[in-house]
Structure 1
Amino acid sequence: MKNVLLLLIFLGSGYLRAQEGIAMKEVVTPPEVVRFAFEKQYPNKTAVWAMEYVGDDNDEIRYEAKFNLTTKTKALSVYDNLGNLKATETQIPLSQLPPKAQAYLKQNYPAKAIREIAIVVDDKNKTTYEVGIEKKTKFYDVVFDKNGGFDVIIQKD
């Protein structure tokens, strides 16, 4: 009886871990054209790749390369399945946020709520700033335009 109970617990926990894996991005090896585009833009950098389905019907594939731009700076580049760069997100310190965004954060959030800050440049050269905020155990991205003007708050899962 003890062995049956242990087996059920083991199988149940394995099932839960498998379900958690479905919700997470899948770690993959991207197509050669995607790897080549990354290596051309970031020579001598090593990335951890993930794949995500996006679009209205989850019919588009995006490959995300997480890597260290420098020893202290993390970055993420997103490519489509043809190797076209869709966006790059680079970690920055608070001091590099536009003053308007810094003032907004100071007025609306305690400093300890800020978890990460990044500059995002998309494939159309649109620049935004994303600040990860933790509030009441929930995580939010506060998004600012290129001049530091408040844009939107997005709750993350």
Structure 2
Amino acid sequence: MRNLLLIVLFLSKGFVFAQEGINMKKVITPPEKVRFAFEKEYPGKTAVWSEEYVGDDDDEVRYEAKFNKDKNTKAVAIYDNSGVLKAFELQIPLNKLPINAQTYLKKNYSPKAIKEIAVVVDDKNKITYEVGVTKDSKFYDVVFDKDGDFSVSIEKN
């Protein structure tokens, strides 16, 4: 009986570690410049921070602050190492997407396939819309331009 309990405990720990590995983003504390920029832009908000390496050789660091903009809306602010805001992503409802994007989604995906919708503004004020969908047991980001015209579909792991 004791061996059975040890095996169950060991397997459950392994499952937890496997689930954490799926996320791949480690929760971190960003540099002071980055925290200061976030706190200045979003006073009183609490963020969960992660870092990601980007660039041709994964030589640039980006810090992601995930937080609740209000009680029903999630947001992500992405900063570079100097605390410069590189992108802002805000969760939106389907009816806030441009009509062209709504039409494309209705034509190509079932309503149940749509998992998340966001408007993204980059550091050059370029607006895009990203819609997370599932199809054939795979997850995709379907990207639309500011007018709602289809841009690209990217498979996510």
Normalised TM-score (structure 2): 0.89
Number of residue pairs aligned between Structure 1 and Structure 2: 156
**Percent of aligned pairs sharing the same letter:** 68
In structure 1, distance between residues paired with 2:16 and 2:114: 31
2:77 aligned with 1:84, yes or no? no
Q: What letter is aligned with 1:88? A: F
RMSD over equivalenced CA pairs, Å:
2.4
- Cα distance, 1:19 vs structure 2: 9.6
2:30 aligned with 1:30, yes or no? yes
- Cα distance, 1:22 vs structure 2: 8.3
Structure 1: which 5+ runs fail to align? none
2:154 aligned with 1:154, yes or no? yes
2:153 aligned with 1:134, yes or no? no
- Cα distance, 1:20 vs structure 2: 5.4
Residue 113 of structure 1 is matched in structure 2 by 113
In structure 2, distance between residues paired with 1:47 and 1:114: 25
SS in 2 for 1:117: strand
Between 111-120 and 52-61, the greater mean CA deviation after superposition: 52-61
Structure 2: which 5+ runs fail to align? none
Q: What letter is aligned with 2:42? A: Y
In structure 1, distance between residues paired with 2:15 and 2:35: 33
2:68 aligned with 1:68, yes or no? yes
In structure 2, distance between residues paired with 1:36 and 1:75: 18
Deviations for 1:93-113, whole angstroms, at most 9, x for unmatched residues?
Answer: 000000010011111111110
Normalised TM-score (structure 1): 0.89
